[in-house]
Structure 1
C-alpha cells in the first residue's frame, strides 16, 4: 500500500478492466488501416482525430473504474455498457469519415455523457461528484461539435471533429477545470498504484496489437531475403520500443507515484502521454507495413515520417514525462529523437530495408543506455530503509 497522503487501499487490476482494454486497443489496428489506406496529410489528421476520441473515452472510463471501484455492481455494469459502445464505435473507424459518421459518433457521445453522468451522481465524495459535474460541462461543449460534424459533408467534417477532439483531449489533460472551480488532487483519495498498473498493461496491449498489424503485413508479403530481413527488423524495433520503457522505466514510474505528494497528478501525466504514445505506435506500424511490402524499393518522405516520426512521438513522450516528474532520464531520449529526425530525412534516399535497420540501431543503443539510467534513477527515488 502506498504511504503518500491521499492514498487508497491497493486493488489489483480486475479481469473486466483487462477485457475492457482489449476492446479499445482493437482500435490500434483500425487506426493503422485507415492511415495506410488514406496516406496523406488529411488522412493523418483524420486518424489523429479518431485516435483522440478513442483514448479520451478509454481515459474517462478507466478513471471511473478506479474512482468508483469496478468491483461494485453499478460500476461493473457501466464498464460493460461502455465496452459494447466502444466495440461498435471502434469498428466504424475505417468508414467514419466516409459513409458511417453517425455510427461512430453516437456511441462516442453516449460514452462521454454516460461516464461523466454516472460518476456525477454516484461518486463516493463531494469533491469527486463536483469534478464529474465539470466533466459533464466539458462534454456538453464537445458533443454538439461531434454531432454537427457527423451531419456535415466529408470536407468540413474534419474541422468540426478536430475541434471536438481538441476539447475532449484538453479536458483529460487539464482535469476539466472551470473558472474558479478546479480539481485539487493533493489530498484526494485515489488508488494511484492501480492506475499505474492499468497504464502498464495498456501499453503492453497496444504493443501487442501493433505486432498483429505488422504480422498481417508479413503474411501478405513474399517470402524472400529482403522481405524477411525487413520484417525481422520491424519486429526488433517493436521489441526495443517496448524495452525503452519496460527495462526499468516502469519501476521509475511506480516509485515516483509512490513517493510524490500528488500521485493523481503523476498518473494524469502518464495518461495524457498515452495520446502521442499510441499515435507513435500507429505511425510505426504503418511505416513497417510500407517497408515490408517494398523492402528494396525507393525511399520516401512518407516512410521517413512514419517510421522515424512515430518513434519520435513514442520516445519524446517518455522524455517529457520523466522531465516533468523526476527531472531525470530524459536527456538520452532527447538525443535519440534527434538521431531519429536525421534518419527520417535520410530515409527519402534510402531503401526501406536500410531505414528499418537504422531505426533498430538507434533503438538498441538507446535501450542499452536507458537500462543503466533507469537503475540509477530508481535508486535515487527509492525511500531509504528506516532503522
Structure 2
C-alpha cells in the first residue's frame, strides 16, 4: 500500500504550523481593533487573503505528501519561521515594516516552492511564478507610499486569485498527480477553525482583564463564550462531517474543485469573519451597561454576518441544506448593530446569541423534516 492510499491524518508538526499561523489571526485582529478607522479592516483583508493563500498552499502540499522525512520537516519549520516574520510585521505592514513583511513573505513562497519542487519537480512552474510575481509586488510596495502601495497590494491579491483558479484547473487534470485526502484535508481546516475560535475567547479574557471583576463581568464573559460556542456549533455539528463524506465520495475532478472552492473561497469569509468579530467582541462584553462605540458595534455585527455568509456559501458549494436561514441570520446580525450603539455591548451580544440559537433550532427542525421522507418507505 503506497503513501497516498493509506489513511492520512493531521500530524503534530502540521498542528504546530497552524498554531504559528494563527498568530497571524491574532495580529490581524489587533490591527482591526486598534485602527482609528475602517481603513484598518481593508488593510487586514488584503494581508489576510495574501497570507491565507500561502497557508492553503502549505496545507494542500502536506495533504499530498506528509512531512515524514527530515528534509521536509526542516522546510516546514522554515516556513513557520517565515510566517512568524510576516505576522510580527503585520501591525506596520503598510508603513515602516513593509519591507520586513515582504522579505518574510518571500521566504514563505520560496520554502513552499522548495517543498513543491521536491514532490512535483518541473510542475513547480505551473503557478509558482505567480507567487513570485506577488512577492515582487510586495517588495515594490515597500518602497512607495499612498495609493501606489495599495495598488501593488491589490495586484498581489489579484495574482493569487488567478493562481487559485489555475491551481484548480491543473488539479482537476488526471495527469497532475494530485490526490486530495479528504479526511486529512477536512480535519486540517477544522483544527485551524477551532484555534481561531480560541482567539475569540482570548479576546474576551483580555478585554475583561481591564475591568473590575464584579458578578456582571462574569455574566458577560459567559455570554460571550456561549456566542462563540454557537458559531462553533453552526459548523462542527453537521457541516464538517457532511463535507468530508461528500469530498470522499466525489470523483477526482469534483473533489479538487470542492476542496478549493469550499476550503479556500468559502473559508476566507468564515475566518476573516472571526477576525472582525473578535475585534469587536472584547469591547462588547467590556461595555456591560454603556453604549458601544459605533466602530466596535459594526465590527461585532459585521463579523458575525461575514462568518454566517461564509458558512452559507460553504453549504451551497457542498450541497448541504438548509442554506437560506444562514443568509437571513446574517441579515439579523447586521440588524443587531443598533442594539450595541443605542443600548450596550452586552445587549448586542445577547441579541446575536438569540439570532444564533433561533437559526440553529430552525435548521435542526428542517433537517428532521428532510429526513422523514427517507424513513417512510421503510414501514
Question: Which of 333, 344, 348 lines up with 2:337 in the alignment?
Answer: 344
| Alignment-derived partner of residue 91 in structure 1 | 88
| Alignment-derived partner of residue 255 in structure 1 | 245
CA distance in 1, matches of 2:306, 2:215: 30
Offset of residue 231 of structure 1: 2.6
Is the contact between residue 214 and residue 288 of structure 1 (CA under 8 Å) also seen in structure 2? yes
Aligned residue for 1:298, secondary structure, equals coil
Query: Aligned Cα RMSD in Å?
Result: 2.7
Matches within 5 A, 1:162-181: 162-172=154-164, 174-176=165-167
Offset of residue 201 of structure 1: 0.9
1:237-284 Cα shifts (integer Å, max 9, x gaps) = 111111111112211111111222222222212321222112111111
CA distance in 2, matches of 1:71, 1:376: 46
Matches within 5 A, 1:91-130: 91-119=88-116, 121-124=117-120, 129-130=122-123
CA distance in 1, matches of 2:9, 2:367: 25
| Alignment-derived partner of residue 328 in structure 1 | 321
Is the contact between residue 26 and residue 209 of structure 1 (CA under 8 Å) also seen in structure 2? no
Aligned residue for 1:106, secondary structure, equals helix
1:300-328 Cα shifts (integer Å, max 9, x gaps) = 43233211111111111111111122152
CA distance in 1, matches of 2:70, 2:37: 45
How many residues are treated as equivalent by the alignment?
367
Query: Which residues of structure 2 form unaligned runs of 5+?
Result: 375-379
Offset of residue 19 of structure 1: 0.4
The verdict on how the C-alpha distance between 1:78 and 1:364 changes in structure 2, with shifts beyond 3 A counting, is: same
| Alignment-derived partner of residue 183 in structure 2 | 193
Please state if 1:232 is matched with 2:222: yes
The verdict on how the C-alpha distance between 1:217 and 1:155 changes in structure 2, with shifts beyond 3 A counting, is: farther
CA distance in 2, matches of 1:339, 1:168: 33
| Alignment-derived partner of residue 4 in structure 1 | none
CA distance in 2, matches of 1:209, 1:115: 26
Offset of residue 117 of structure 1: 4.4
Q: In terms of mean alpha carbon deviation, does 195-204 or 133-142 score higher? A: 133-142
**Higher RCO structure (Cα 8 Å, ≥6 apart):** 1
The verdict on how the C-alpha distance between 1:363 and 1:103 changes in structure 2, with shifts beyond 3 A counting, is: same
CA distance in 2, matches of 1:60, 1:377: 37
CA distance in 2, matches of 1:53, 1:355: 32
TM (norm. structure 1) is 0.86
| Alignment-derived partner of residue 157 in structure 1 | 149
The verdict on how the C-alpha distance between 1:308 and 1:270 changes in structure 2, with shifts beyond 3 A counting, is: same
Query: Which residues of structure 1 form unaligned runs of 5+?
Result: 2-6, 382-387
Please state if 1:296 is matched with 2:293: no
TM (norm. structure 2) is 0.88
Offset of residue 211 of structure 1: 1.5
Question: Which of 56, 71, 74 lines up with 2:71 in the alignment?
Answer: 74
| Alignment-derived partner of residue 267 in structure 2 | 274
The verdict on how the C-alpha distance between 1:154 and 1:254 changes in structure 2, with shifts beyond 3 A counting, is: same
Aligned residue for 1:10, secondary structure, equals coil
| Alignment-derived partner of residue 138 in structure 1 | 130
Offset of residue 101 of structure 1: 1.3
The verdict on how the C-alpha distance between 1:176 and 1:266 changes in structure 2, with shifts beyond 3 A counting, is: closer
